[in-house]
């Protein structure tokens, strides 16, 4: 971090602005939003500054800057076009340990002014440490358009209830739960609709009704194949809301970066043939945690309902009357194929697509090989790295051409995304001779040929 972000209280505190032109005027207006007591020193002032002085919003001193002007100030802004003067103001302020900002001269600043999204009392400050102010402004524009204006009102309403809520719940987690429910439910909706009075009544009712022993909830969330940009909005929201996250090896580090900082993380493993926590244990853990009133996120790679045992996990929840939600994710077949430039279907090459488990059990796969070894179809094998030789032999034995194109997608959509292409006959040699790391997906079909033309994703360039 080049600059440490803080918010400073300058309400009715003396702040100095050196300079009285248009730029100074803009800075004065910003400081006025925080109710600062502003003195503007400049031999000449623009109309805007003159008007503010006339309305008694600021004090203007019509003369050049003097050394003693820095005395007793809590914040100084120098907005003149005189480089020597700007340096002098900066030096004096720094010597007196007063935060100073010199417009457009980062070297002379001890603080910088961020781009601001103002939903007071919610204020979002964005800084690029002076390196890309235009980008910071673009980010600001995005936030401006996605954060409803009424968030400020919602925050004010919450402020009125803060002490009551604190008195009711002495546990910080219970307090957070109460607020999250309020901010994502009917109370927030009413504030957004301009019905602040009704929202206040509802919030009071919720506060009076809630008890400490509420049952929690489980979110079964698909975390996608790796790239965090492939998460759904809902997945992201619930990941950031959960108190406990149960995750396994398939959830990428980049996705794990997005969980709430203070959430409890429980690793439940699931390496091939080495389940850190057996499936029954995971199912029961979800029930137990929810019964403690916690919001539990079971975060899984890809989609929870595609080779993810998601069904088994929520069956146990349903039997125990634990509320749950399931959030779909981008499954590996979809993520890996698109990031490899391999369309799973194509009018010329493939009219259907099958997702198949290639998990070896007792050295073989119990699959309908006759149905798989057909033309104009794409087969996507999950969990098939160990079984690559077997599936190659079986498909060829059941009539598939040995020259059928095959792609192995290793760690698809992550910064380590790697694609190996080969043919069905050559597949076992490739797997035997190359170091291929799990998770890997195997795609079999004519569509693999299209990669030559359609490949667009270069993991090295992206990372
Ligand atoms: N529920 C998951 C699949 C779990 S089975 C989903 O919908 O994607 C685990 C298998 O998924 C792995 O053995 C591998 O074949 C595949 N897989 C998952 N993520 C992958 C990735 N990022 N790259 C390649 N294969 C992946």
Return the CATH number at 395: 3.30.950.10
What is the per-residue DSSP string for 126-179? E--TTS-HHHHHHHHHHHHHHS-TTHHHHHHHHHHHHHHHHHH--SHHHHHHHH
**287 and 338 belong to one structural domain:** no
Mutate to test the pocket of ligand 1, among 251, 268, 301, 331 (most ligand atoms within 8 A of CB): 301
Q: Determine the distance separating the centroid of ligand 1 and the alpha carbon of 381, expressed in angstroms.
A: 9
- Determine what percent of the chain is predicted with pLDDT higher than 90: 74
> In this structure, is residue 149 part of a structural domain?
no
**286 and 396 belong to one structural domain:** no
Mean pLDDT check: name the lowest of 9-13, 54-58, 146-150: 146-150
Q: In what order do the strands lie in the sheet with 295-300?
A: 264-267, 244-247, 295-300, 217-222, 324-327
Q: Say how far apart CA 437 and CA 166 lie, in whole Å.
A: 50
**Closest residue to atom 9 of ligand 1, CA basis:** 383
Q: Which domain holds residue 237?
A: 215-330
**454 and 337 belong to one structural domain:** yes
CA distances 365 to 356, 392, 426, Å, are 10, 12, 20
Where is the domain boundary, 84, 113, 142?
113
**337 and 325 belong to one structural domain:** no
Q: Determine the distance separating the centroid of ligand 1 and the alpha carbon of 200, expressed in angstroms.
A: 47
> In this structure, is residue 13 part of a structural domain?
yes
Q: Determine the distance separating the centroid of ligand 1 and the alpha carbon of 445, expressed in angstroms.
A: 19
Is 270 a residue of the active site? yes
Whether residue 221 has its Cβ less than 6 Å from ligand 1? no
> Is 224 flagged in the annotation as binding?
no
**313 and 388 belong to one structural domain:** no
pTM listed for this prediction: 0.68
> In this structure, is residue 164 part of a structural domain?
no
Q: Which atom of ligand 1 is nearest to the CA of 225?
A: 22
**381 and 429 belong to one structural domain:** yes
Where is the domain boundary, 65, 87, 113?
113
Predicted pLDDT of residue 237: 83
**399 and 449 belong to one structural domain:** yes
- Please check the confidence at residue 310 and state whether its pLDDT lies above 60: yes
**Count of domains for the chain:** 3
Q: Which long-range contacts (CB under 8 A, 24 or more apart) does 120-127 make?
A: 120/33, 120/152, 121/152, 121/155, 121/156, 121/159, 122/151, 122/152, 122/155, 123/7, 125/5, 125/7, 127/3, 127/5
**287 and 339 belong to one structural domain:** no
CB 388 within 8 A of CB 442: yes
**325 and 253 belong to one structural domain:** yes
> Is 133 flagged in the annotation as binding?
no
Instruction: Give per-residue pLDDT as tens, 65-103.
Output: 999 999 999 999 999 999 999 999 999 999 999 999 999
Q: Say how far apart CA 353 and CA 365 lie, in whole Å.
A: 19
- Please check the confidence at residue 213 and state whether its pLDDT lies above 80: no
> In this structure, is residue 195 part of a structural domain?
no
**Closest residue to atom 2 of ligand 1, CA basis:** 302
> In this structure, is residue 142 part of a structural domain?
no
**299 and 371 belong to one structural domain:** no
Predicted pLDDT of residue 181: 81
> Is 306 flagged in the annotation as binding?
yes
27, 153, 270, 300: the active-site residue: 270
Whether residue 303 has its Cβ less than 6 Å from ligand 1? yes
**362 and 385 belong to one structural domain:** yes
Q: Determine the distance separating the centroid of ligand 1 and the alpha carbon of 433, expressed in angstroms.
A: 22
Instruction: Give per-residue pLDDT as tens, 99-147.
Output: 999 998 989 999 999 989 999 999 999 999 888 888 988 899 888 877 8
**297 and 371 belong to one structural domain:** no
Where is the domain boundary, 62, 89, 113?
113
Is 248 a residue of the active site? yes
């Amino acid at each position: 971090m080049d600059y440490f972000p803080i918010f400073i209280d300058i309400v009715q505190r003396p702040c100095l602005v050196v300079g009285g032109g248009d730029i100074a005027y803009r800075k004065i207006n910003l400081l006025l939003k925080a109710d600062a007591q502003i003195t503007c020193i400049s031999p000449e002032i623009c109309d805007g500054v003159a008007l503010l002085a006339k309305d008694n919003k600021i004090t203007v001193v019509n003369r050049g800057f003097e050394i003693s002007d820095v005395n007793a100030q809590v914040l100084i802004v120098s907005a003149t076009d005189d480089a020597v003067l700007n340096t002098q103001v900066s030096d004096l302020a720094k010597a007196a340990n007063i935060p100073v900002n010199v417009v457009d001269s980062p070297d002379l600043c001890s603080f910088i002014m961020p781009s601001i999204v103002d939903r007071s009392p919610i204020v979002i400050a964005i800084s690029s440490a002076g390196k890309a102010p235009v980008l910071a402004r673009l980010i600001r524009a995005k936030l401006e358009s996605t954060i409803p204006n009424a968030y400020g009102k919602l925050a004010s309403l919450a402020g009125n209830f803060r002490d009551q809520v604190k008195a009711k719940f002495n546990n910080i987690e219970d307090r957070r739960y109460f607020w999250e429910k309020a901010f994502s439910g009917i109370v927030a909706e009413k504030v957004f609709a301009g019905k602040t009075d009704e929202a206040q009544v509802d919030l009071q009712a919720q506060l009076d009704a809630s008890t400490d022993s509420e049952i929690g909830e489980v979110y079964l969330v698909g975390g996608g194949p790796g790239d965090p940009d492939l998460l759904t909005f809902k997945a992201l929201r619930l990941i950031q809301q959960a108190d406990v996250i149960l995750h396994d090896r398939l959830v990428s580090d980049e996705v794990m970066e997005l969980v709430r900082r203070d959430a409890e993380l429980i690793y439940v493993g699931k390496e091939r043939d080495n389940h850190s926590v057996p499936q029954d244990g995971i199912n029961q853990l979800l029930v137990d945690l929810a019964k403690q009133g916690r919001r539990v996120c079971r975060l899984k790679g890809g989609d929870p309902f595609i080779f993810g045992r998601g069904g088994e996990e929520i069956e146990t929840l349903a039997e125990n009357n634990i509320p749950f939600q399931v959030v779909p994710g981008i499954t590996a077949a979809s993520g890996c194929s698109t990031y490899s430039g391999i369309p799973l279907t194509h009018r010329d090459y493939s009219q259907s697509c099958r997702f198949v488990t290639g998990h070896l059990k007792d050295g073989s796969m119990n699959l309908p090989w006759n149905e798989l070894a057909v033309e104009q179809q794409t087969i996507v094998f999950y969990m098939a790295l160990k079984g690559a030789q077997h599936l190659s032999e079986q498909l060829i034995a059941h009539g598939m051409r040995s020259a059928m194109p095959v792609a192995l997608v290793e760690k698809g959509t992550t910064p380590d995304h790697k694609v190996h292409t080969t043919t069905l006959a050559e597949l076992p040699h490739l797997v035997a001779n190359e170091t291929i790391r799990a998770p890997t997906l195997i795609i079999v079909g004519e569509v693999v040929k299209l990669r030559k033309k359609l490949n667009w994703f270069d993991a090295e360039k992206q990372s």
